[in-house]
Chains A and B, each alone.
Chain A
Amino acid sequence: MARSAKAVPWFLFAAGGTVLSFILPVMIFTTGIAPALGLFTDALSYDTMSAFVGNWLVKLVLFGILTLACWHAAHRLRVCAHDFGIRADTAVAVILYGLATVGTATAALALVSI
């Protein structure tokens, strides 16, 4: 047997899981449920959001959360695939980590352009 490089995605998974456990419920409520309830309409207006996300610290925090969320989900879905009986682990890993890379890159580009 040989030492495995799985340490790298695992750290991203674990860090992501930790950050998400604190922030995810309130984030989903704020951006996904509150608008339908008519809450936070000012905060979610175009002007306020542009100014808010325009702040470099906010950009950095959002980039951190979204990157970790992408890699957390990708790694856990890889395990899920195995648990559901899919044994093509290499192909699954390439697809999921590839999607996480696309997500990370898109988030970075979007944040830079705001």
Chain B
Amino acid sequence: MSERTIELEVLRYRPEQDQEPFFQTYKVPCEEEWVVLDALNYVKEEMDRTLSYRWSCHMFVCGSCGMMIDGEPKLACKAFLKDYPTGKIRVEPLSNFPIERDLVVVLDDFVEKLESVKPYIIPKEERTVEQGEYLQTPAQLKAFKQYTLCINCLCCYAVCPQYGLDESFVGPAALALAHRYNMDSRDLGRAARDDVVAAAEGIWHCSFVGACSQVCPKDVDPAGAIQQAKFAHGIDYLTSFLPGGKR
């Protein structure tokens, strides 16, 4: 195994003593096959125990270690050092979120939005245990499967300019998840999600920059989900004015 020294420029912010964030450089002896998260763990264990950051699974499943790596939102566990040949890597907390401490951002706003879109199945019919499971064909599953893969890493929010400019926007991941349930054959909750999803702050705030889908580490394509939702909710809106329409 070969070793290489990486200059890790980490944005630090310690609320009890700093007025604003600053960059601190660590020279980290790294192994060739490491990811950025390994380098951060090395710093934490061997160099500076005051450094704060979130991580858990180290295998792109938990969504905890999203951060800006050379200006691009990425999972630190999926950002391989070999892809940074200059040996200098800049690590910052996710853009568009307030910094709690070092690489840790404040997630309260997102969690609130996630809850607001009712991200759970609102069934067409309540079934008792005796009645058995809700059946679904593979084709019905395929209609929404892609949108279930979101791990809430918030890379999409960090690159969405509309969220950065106006945090009232519900944002990519929450709207994609709403779409996931709206597309589920077992769900009948589109009207119940309408107030949030089809509000000015919901899908209509999206201007289809498309950056969210470009950075998504799970290929969820939130931008696509939102445009599809615009069409579906738009038809709902127009037909609501027809005779017999639900307003």
Contacts and interface: CB of A to CB of B under 8 A. Distances in A.
B32 to A, nearest CB: 42
B207 A7 contact: no
A8 B195 contact: no
A20 to B, nearest CB: 16
B196 interface: yes
B207 A1 contact: no
B237 A7 contact: yes
B194 interface: yes
B204 A4 contact: yes
A3 B199 contact: yes
B204 A6 contact: yes
B198 A3 contact: yes
Contacts of B1: none
A28 interface: no
B58 interface: no
Contacts, number: 41
Contact of A7 (B161, B195, B204): B204
Nearest to B237: A7
A4 B199 contact: yes
B237 A5 contact: yes
A56 interface: no
A83 interface: yes
Contact of A4 (B198, B207, B231, B238): B198
Interface in A65-114: 79, 82-83
Given A3-B195, A4-B198, A11 B204 contact: no
Contact of B238 (A1, A8, A79): A8
B204 A1 contact: no
Nearest to B240: A3
B230 interface: yes
Interface residues of A, number: 14
A2 interface: yes
A1 B112 CA distance: 14
Q: Which of B195, B230, B238 has the most CB of A within 10 A?
A: B230
Contacts of B161: 83
Nearest to A79: B207
Contact of A10 (B195, B196, B201, B204): B204
B179 interface: no
B199 A10 contact: no
B202 interface: yes
A8 B204 CA distance: 11
B238 A7 contact: yes
A6 B207 CA distance: 12
B234 A1 contact: no
A2 B198 CA distance: 8
Interface of A: 1-8, 10-11, 14, 79, 82-83
14 contacts: A1-B195, A1-B201, A2-B195, A3-B198, A3-B199, A4-B202, A5-B237, A7-B198, A7-B230, A7-B233, A7-B237, A8-B237, A10-B230, A11-B238
Given A3-B237, A5-B237, 9 more contacts: A2-B195, A3-B198, A4-B198, A7-B233, A10-B230, A10-B234, A11-B238, A14-B230, A14-B231
